[in-house]
Amino acid sequence: MKVRLKFTKIGHMKFLGHLDLQRLFQRCIRRADLPIEYSKGFNPHQHLYFALPLPLGATSEGEYLDMNLTSGVEPQEIKNSLNAFLPEGITVQDVYILSNDSLVGMAAVDAAEYRISIDKETVPSNFMDAVNNFFNQKEILAEKRGKKGIKEISIKEMIYKYTLDENDKQWMIYLVLAAGSKANLKPETVIEQLYKNNGWEYKDYRIHIHRINIFSRINNEFLPLSD
Amino acid sequence: MTTLRVKDDLLLQVEKPARYIGNEVNSVKKDINKIDIRFAFCFPDVYEVGMSHLGMQILYYYLNQREDTYCERVFAPWLDMEQKMRDNNIPLFALESQEDVKNFDFLGFTLQYEMCYTNVINLIDLAGIPIWSKDRNEEDPIICAGGPCAYNPEPLAHFVDFFYIGEGEATLGEVFDIYKKHKKEGGSRREFLEKLLDVEGIYVPCFYDVHYKADGTIESFIPNHPRAKSKIHKQIVKDLDKTYYPTHAIMPWIQTVHDRVVLEVFRGCIRGCRFCHAGIVYRPVREKSKEVLMKQASLLLKNTGYEEISLASLSTSDYSELEKFSEELLEVCRESKINISLPSLRIDEFSLDLMGKVQEVRKSSLTFAPEAGTQRLRDVINKGINEEDILSGSRRAFEGGWDRVKLYFMIGLPTETEEDIEGIADLASKIVDVFYEIPKENRAKAVKVVVSSSCFVPKPFTPFQWEPQNTYQEFMDKQYFLKGKIKRKQIQYNYHDAIVSSLEGMIARGDRKVGDVLYAAWKSGCRFDGWSEHFDFEKWEQAFKDTGINPAFYANRRRAYDEILPWDHISVGVTKAFLKREHEKAMKGEVTPNCRQHCENCGAKRFNGGICYES
Ligand code: SF4
């Protein structure tokens, strides 16, 4: 039985890296005694398929984890038994049963939506114009650090949507970006480039990234992985 | 959600911020308003090292069983975090409550290795507590320390208010009871320390005066308080089956050195290797029964979700019920897909078979610790392993498909000659020969023998406590010599810089004067000296110069049997007479049987338990 969990990673759990999160889930799944499928051979280990790693420091209300169970368990029971062992900040919100032919893990991912919050006092007053100018360029180039050093890539076509919002204290940039194994754009790449183009000093600990959801493209429509 | 002591933006600027957030799965949460005693359990190394330490986890849960006590954890902040804390005036805080330890009742340090002593001083300083015991006042917490290095407490005697000698489970309960009463009745810090003089196993350094001779050795070590005991006896738990053992383990947020269930099979070691500190100070051997172990194993696995269990002891093969226990454990683990890891097994038919069963074949290479290169020297150190054992063990292993053997040796052992060092290379070479003697079709394609040598550090309470340590130069020359003797390409030789061992040798047998060097080294910036990337010998050299202390006096000098040793007021049960006897036998190359073969009346009978009373 293929199942998909939707969970949050908020509060202090933002200080957990992706590998730490994996280990945490493995152990909670064991404690919850779920009939998860193990690899064969030496040192059997659980097959866990996370949709998209979240960088340390970011929070999320829409993370996904797929796994295979060797016998049927009610979604509600999976959710309750895991939540009994997961720490504060990581909560399974929903459990979905997938059809046998559905793509799992990163293979199912095409896009992700983020909210990037920036304290107003850390940026100049022309922030709104600067942001609009940046995203309205015909072509947006960004530096990407790869194995072969830094190279310039064009990112405009990987930014599916952007909006800007604000409250008293913060600017909030909402982005829908390409994600997954075919094309992947990290929100920090976009924001760093925005800062660079404007000559502002970029410090990753001053911006806060929050993932809202992760999507699959089905018939040219972005649907949350939960659908 | 607990408010973190360090703000998010600072945490995001340091490596592995999860080291500092606390609140791990299975950590203990308590209502501070209902607590009488707040105890900050300090491990003077970084989170991932300290969290791997079994003793800390045992004591943590043990102390938290008390409703009146909240034991919280503190680890040494990594250098990046220390910088942020100092820059932003954030004092040392405990992980659970995220509150400053300066307001706690106690700071308790566990001393696992000498190279963390500058971290001890650093933590006290970071907490905002005066570093020297004599400078503390009524508002400051009481600072205590225990652990294997506390058996020679003297190098830290000026910084620590009291030491608990032995197992914390056996002493701290009484200390807390006295403290609670003391706090209620009202009384000074000094009065509390005086009350501790009546507690067995507690050493309060300020109630003793040391006088030195002109040559720097100890003239006298005498109590300056009528109630101070002339000998402080180690306290231990007698029966491990009846002793509290945690059913949970704190699940570290990040990967630690030993990220698995660690099950203590027994304490102590039956073998009397003459260089081994642990082998003496943990005497006598106390085993847990198979039934208790099985129960503890299944509870720990259930309550942690760990996918691996490791059996811990100084020499697991000596567990008297190993065969039956491993069978049962294997059965349970196979069903629930748990890996078993078995460190410290002697290599013989049984253990090879066992290792095959736990499927460690692919995982690790085979490890032998002959410690010395010739039979003569192995007899001197009483390492009951001979060449035939090693060669036949290797043969069996090669036939079983292993293709890698690791050999651990020590250089600089007492009476060592060039021949002994050459013997290391010879032994490695013979193992390679054994491999090629096996028909091609029955062995792996290629073989690798990895030889590692460490530098011998004479430790207190061992038969070699009177022996001079090799100098740095001697160590280097010997390593170089051995390197030249290893010629075959199948053999790889690993060694590390001897300088850390030299320093360790000095501190391990240090007296109170060594505290000045520790302080000076810390002052000049020494931290994490056990981490080679942070070890800065130049700073230590400067500290020796500034304090006028000659490290050779501590490390490289032969002591006479009648010299007063800095740790003579501590008793680990094993008598000095036994150590002397063992030293004399060592010099004659005579071996001593192990506790199970024959009791040598080492003195450990005084604890009224363990192997000494098994028939
Ligand atoms: S008294 Fe005998 S049995 Fe007990 S630890 Fe000493 S030598 Fe071993």
* A10-28 average pLDDT score: 96
Q: Among A17, A30, A42, select the one facing B359 at the smallest CB separation.
A: A42
pLDDT digits (tens, 9 = 90+) for B10-23: 999 999 999 999 99
Q: In this predicted structure, what is the pLDDT of residue A172?
A: 97
Q: Among B18, B359, B363, select the one facing A15 at the smallest CB separation.
A: B18
Is B98 in CB contact (< 8 Å) with chain A?
Answer: no
Q: How many CB atoms lie within 10 A of CB B437?
A: 11
pLDDT digits (tens, 9 = 90+) for B552-573: 999 999 999 999 999 999 999 9
Nearest protein CA to atom 5 of ligand 1, as residue: B284
Detail the DSSP E strand segments found in B332-479.
339-341, 366-371, 404-411, 448-455
**Within-domain flag for B203:** yes
* Gap from A57 CA to chain B (nearest CA, Å): 7
- Which residue from B minimizes the CA distance to A12? B21
**Within-domain flag for B167:** yes
**Within-domain flag for B64:** yes
Q: In this predicted structure, what is the pLDDT of residue A148?
A: 78
Q: Which chain B positions have a beta carbon within 8 Å of A19's beta carbon?
A: 255
pLDDT digits (tens, 9 = 90+) for B200-219: 999 999 999 999 999 999 99
pLDDT digits (tens, 9 = 90+) for A33-69: 999 998 877 677 888 999 999 999 999 999 999 999 9
* B307-331 average pLDDT score: 89
Residue B91 buriedness (CB in 10 A; 0-12 / 13-18 / 19+): middle
Ligand 1: which residues within 6 Å by Cβ?
B 283-284, 595, 599-602, 604-605, 611-612
Q: Which chain A positions have a beta carbon within 8 Å of B305's beta carbon?
A: 26-31, 85
Q: Among B12, B302, B339, select the one facing A57 at the smallest CB separation.
A: B12
Nearest protein CA to atom 8 of ligand 1, as residue: B595
Report the alpha-carbon distance of residue B509 to residue B548 in Å, rounded.
Answer: 17
Q: Which two tokens stand for residue B592?
A: 């001593």
Report the alpha-carbon distance of residue B474 to residue B480 in Å, rounded.
Answer: 10
Q: Is B552 helix (H, G, I), strand (E, B) or coil?
A: helix
B122 — pLDDT class (breaks 50, 70, 90):
very high
* Cross-chain Cβ contact B17/A28 below 8 Å: no
Report the alpha-carbon distance of residue A94 to residue A76 in Å, rounded.
Answer: 8
* pLDDT: which is higher, B313 or A192: A192
Q: Domains of chain A (ranges plus CATH)?
A: 2-106 (3.30.70.580), 109-224 (3.30.70)
pLDDT digits (tens, 9 = 90+) for B35-90: 999 999 999 999 999 999 999 999 999 999 999 999 999 999 999 999 999 999 99
Q: Which chain B positions have a beta carbon within 8 Å of A87's beta carbon?
A: 23-25
Q: In this predicted structure, what is the pLDDT of residue B359?
A: 61
* B258-272 average pLDDT score: 92
How remote is the CA of residue B595 from the centroid of ligand 1, in Å?
5
* Cross-chain Cβ contact B25/A205 below 8 Å: no
Report the alpha-carbon distance of residue B207 to residue B194 in Å, rounded.
Answer: 8
* B93-110 average pLDDT score: 98
Residue B9 buriedness (CB in 10 A; 0-12 / 13-18 / 19+): middle
Nearest protein CA to atom 2 of ligand 1, as residue: B599
Report the alpha-carbon distance of residue A94 to residue B562 in Å, rounded.
Answer: 74
pLDDT digits (tens, 9 = 90+) for B331-375: 998 888 888 888 767 777 777 777 777 765 454 578 889 999 999
Q: In this predicted structure, what is the pLDDT of residue A220?
A: 87
Q: Which two tokens stand for residue A226?
A: 């939960």
Within the 234-263 window of chain B, which residues sit less than 8 Å (CB to CB) from chain A?
A: 251, 253-255, 259
Q: In this predicted structure, what is the pLDDT of residue B361?
A: 45
Q: Which chain B positions have a beta carbon within 8 Å of A14's beta carbon?
A: 8
Contact B102, B129 (CB under 8 A): yes
* B566-590 average pLDDT score: 97
From B418, B404, B511, B419, select the one nearest B451 (Cα to Cα). Answer: B404
How remote is the CA of residue B278 from the centroid of ligand 1, in Å?
14
* Cross-chain Cβ contact A57/B362 below 8 Å: no
* Gap from A54 CA to chain B (nearest CA, Å): 15
Looking up residue B217, the CATH number of its domain turns out to be 3.40.50.2300
Q: In this predicted structure, what is the pLDDT of residue B583?
A: 98
* A186-197 average pLDDT score: 95
Q: In this predicted structure, what is the pLDDT of residue B400?
A: 81
**Within-domain flag for B541:** no
pLDDT digits (tens, 9 = 90+) for B396-455: 888 888 888 899 999 999 999 999 999 999 999 999 999 999 999 888 888 999 999 999
Largest CA distance in chain A: 60
User: Residue B603 CA: which ligand 1 atom is closest?
Assistant: 1
Share of chain B above pLDDT 70, in %: 99
**Within-domain flag for B208:** yes
Q: Which chain A positions have a beta carbon within 8 Å of B4's beta carbon?
A: 12
Q: What is the DSSP letter of B476?
A: H
Q: Among A31, A38, A204, select the one facing B305 at the smallest CB separation.
A: A31
Domain with B83, as residue range(s), is 8-232
User: Residue B599 CA: which ligand 1 atom is closest?
Assistant: 2
pLDDT digits (tens, 9 = 90+) for B524-563: 999 999 998 899 999 999 999 999 999 999 999 999 999 9
* Cross-chain Cβ contact A87/B8 below 8 Å: no
pLDDT digits (tens, 9 = 90+) for B460-491: 999 999 999 999 999 999 999 999 999 999 99
From B20, B45, B63, B47, select the one nearest B118 (Cα to Cα). Answer: B45
Q: Which chain A positions have a beta carbon within 8 Å of B9's beta carbon?
A: 205-206
Q: How many domains does chain B have?
A: 1
From B128, A169, A55, select the one nearest B143 (Cα to Cα). Answer: B128
